[in-house]
Amino acid sequence: MRVLITVGPTREPIDAVRYLSNRSSGRMGAALVTAAQKHGHSVTAIAGPIVVPFPQNIQRIDVETAAEMQRAVLAQFPDHDLLIMAAAVADYRPRQILDGKIPSGDSLTLQLEPTQDIIALAGQSKRSDQRTVAFSLESAGGIERARQKMLRKNVDLMVFNPTSTMHSPTVQAVLLYPDGRSEELGCREKAAFADILLQRAVALF
């Protein structure tokens, strides 16, 4: 299959030197790219700023902001069978990017605005022969919220992902399906989880 995978965080600039971001390491996305490559799929990775080791010999598109990732995903998705949205895209960005460097020392108030929901946009344009997989990073007990997000965004498989695993080498995920099924996978190394998730994604076809 032709698989499109997003990886890592985004950075939303505040001024010439500062930005808003999150704690995503990119390990999960890199593990998924490795698994997809190992299983013989044609892989395109859209990567935010990451420092983790990354597979070679794939098409890689480097981006920084949520807007750049959105443009790259919507441009690439029509040529792919499967989109796995593993990136931790910023939910908010500064309404205004200030010129130069803001002097330090004084208090600072930032006005933020929401970024667009990339997986929802992909769900709107998805063809009948395409599938989407998304991650829902939630606090403990947020599985119902993840299920609602899956249905609202037209996602074919949602990974409920507790916040405690964001910067960890392991993941304790629950797979959610639109027909109401769920599959608890327990605590696994991210590489082992990536193999299972690729198998479940292929089964969606």
DSSP conformational letter for 9 = B
Q: Are 50 and 6 in contact (CB under 8 A)?
A: no
pLDDT digits (tens, 9 = 90+) for 41-86: 999 999 999 988 888 889 999 999 999 999 999 999 999 999 999 9
Best CA proximity match to 9, nearest among 166, 155, 164: 166
The active-site residue out of 22, 57, 154, 161 is: 22
Best CA proximity match to 72, nearest among 7, 131, 154: 7
**pLDDT value, residue 121:** 97
Q: Write down how long the chain is.
A: 205
pLDDT digits (tens, 9 = 90+) for 115-124: 999 999 999 9
Question: Can you tell me the distance from the alpha carbon of 69 to that of 44, in angstroms, rounded to the nearest whole number?
Answer: 13
22 is catalytic: yes
**Which pLDDT band, with edges at 50, 70 and 90, does 16 fall under?**
very high
Query: Which domains does the chain show, CATH number per domain?
Result: 2-95+112-203 (3.40.50.10300)
More confident residue, 107 or 196: 196
**pLDDT value, residue 165:** 65
